[in-house]
């Protein structure tokens, strides 16, 4: 179980950390996504910071297990919000969302399984 916990947690952290960087450097993709979903562009850096916090929280969970659990749960909630934003505007392009969401759910599951079972 430890190997799965470490592998999935590190993968989820890298995935969300790379997304956070894209959001925080001002890349056009997140801006276009915000426009498509009818969100203000001023939210893009905030969303990037939330992704960065989740990514760092997952890694911090190796030292403080509750931090990792809360970070994983926060990422799951973040991506539920992203789904709602997609559905609100009728977007059915959910392949990227599904990958990120599945990774966040997997991180939460292994975190709960490893630390709290």
Radius of gyration of the chain (CA): 14
The total domain count for the chain is 1
CB neighbour class for 57 (10 Å; exposed up to 12, middle 13-18, buried from 19): buried
pLDDT over 90 (residue 116): no
pLDDT in tens, 45-84: 999 999 999 999 999 999 999 999 999 999 999 999 999 9
Task: Show the domain range for 104.
Answer: 2-115
pLDDT in tens, 99-109: 999 999 999 99
What predicted TM-score, i.e. pTM, was given to this entire model? 0.95
| Entry field: residues in the chain | 117
């Amino acid at each position: 179980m430890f190997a799965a916990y470490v592998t999935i947690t590190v993968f989820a952290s890298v995935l969300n950390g790379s997304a956070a960087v894209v959001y925080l450097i001002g890349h056009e993709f997140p801006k276009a996504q915000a426009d498509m979903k009818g969100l203000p562009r001023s939210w893009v850096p905030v969303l990037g910071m939330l992704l960065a916090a989740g990514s760092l929280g997952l890694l911090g969970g190796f030292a403080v297990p509750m931090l990792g659990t809360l970070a994983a749960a926060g990422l799951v909630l973040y991506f539920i919000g992203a789904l709602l934003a997609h559905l609100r505007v009728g977007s059915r392009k959910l392949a990227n969302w599904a990958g990120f969401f599945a990774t966040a759910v997997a991180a939460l599951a292994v975190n709960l399984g490893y630390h709290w079972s």
